[in-house]
Amino acid sequence: MRNTLLIVLTLILVSCSISRKAADGKSGVDGTSATPSNSEMQATLLKKNNDFIFLESIKRSMEYLASDELEGRNTGSKGIEKAAVFIENYFKKNNIKPYFKTYRDSFNLKDIVGYNIVGYIEGNDPELKNEFVILGAHYDHIGNGKEVNGDVIANGANDDASGTVAVLEWANYFSKSKSNKRSILFTLYSAEEMGLKGSSHLAKRLKKENLDLYTMINFEMIGVPRAKEEIMAYMSGYEKSNMGAKLNEYGGKEVIGFFPKAKEFQLFMRSDNYPFYKAFKKPSHAISTFDFTNFDYYHHVDDEADKMDYKHMTDFMNVMIPALEGMINAPTQEIKMNDE
């Protein structure tokens, strides 16, 4: 009888803790609830398996950024303004500071005003904090595409809401862990689809301000997995530096590989890493899991949130954490350009 009573009391306590709301009315979202919410209990369980980023959070952000409400996030549109506000609010909520006076790095394209969003976490090492690592992705897309079954909105889930959400999740991770010795800029670019205009503006501005850049990684289309026989992700310009090998070393597994067609498709020069390479001549690469064989909806109205593989995204973001930490915290600048 006593054992039965203990079991009943335990179930009641668990039930109460699951239903308990945080201060903002959502289960555990602000981390202030006195007893663990369902999300917090799940997070604790997952952290035992070295997972720090959770599928639910990724999916929630993706479904908003790739929603019809944002109208395809074309630079200069009302939709991309909503995306920018979403990113700014995410940074504010997670205590990620603006690098400039505000989060926005604005620029003009004729009669269009574009803006990159730039968050900042200062390094915790007295010397290394003067060096910067940049993690980036573009949050714009093309607006409308060719009509399919009455749908004209090119939602851009894989391209590149997926990379944007990855950068946001890592920003949240580092803001909580405070594990970065070097300083980090979390940069989301607009006008990528207009010819890398946003990243070009930011790279030139940071160079002019004498930012001490160590490395830059751009995350481009990481919403779908590669074939099982392939390495999880690949890096453009793999041969230009030792970054790929060092990331695998830091992470303790082969996550980043060489993609033979990257040079043929000129991928190194087609994404937002390239302006930073041009401006700083430092290791600056794009990492992707889209290899032109595993997703049929590039610049297509069916590039929708419901076509993303959220387990793959969650796995990728988590396995990249030790790789990023290794790069950010290396005592010396171990990642270098190769002789070209």
Q: What domains can you pick out in the chain, each with its CATH number?
A: 1-49 (no CATH), 53-329 (3.40.630.10)
How confident is the model at residue 237, as a pLDDT? 97
- Check whether the bond before 51 is cis (ω within 30° of 0): no
What local confidence, expressed as pLDDT, does residue 49 receive?
52
**What pLDDT, on the 0 to 100 scale, is given for residue 5?**
37
Mean pLDDT, the chain, rounded, equals: 88
pLDDT score, position 43: 39
CB atoms within 10 A of CB 308: 24
CA distance 255 to 262: 17
Stated pTM of the model: 0.86
Low-confidence residues of the chain: pLDDT under 70: 1-50, 340
Alpha helices in the chain (DSSP H): 2-19, 38-47, 55-65, 78-93, 162-177, 197-208, 243-251, 261-264, 274-280, 310-329
Contact 296, 282 (CB under 8 A): no
Say what the pLDDT of residue 40 is.
38
> CB-hemisphere CA count at 13 Å for 77?
20
Specify the pLDDT at position 140.
98
Which residues fall within 8 angstroms of residue 305, CB to CB, at 6 or more apart? 59, 62, 63, 66, 67, 155, 157, 161
Q: What is the pLDDT of residues 30-57, one digit of tens each?
A: 333 333 333 333 333 345 356 799 999 9
Tokens of 161: 């809401």
Q: How high is the pLDDT of residue 51? A: 75
The Cα 330–Cα 206 span in angstroms is 23
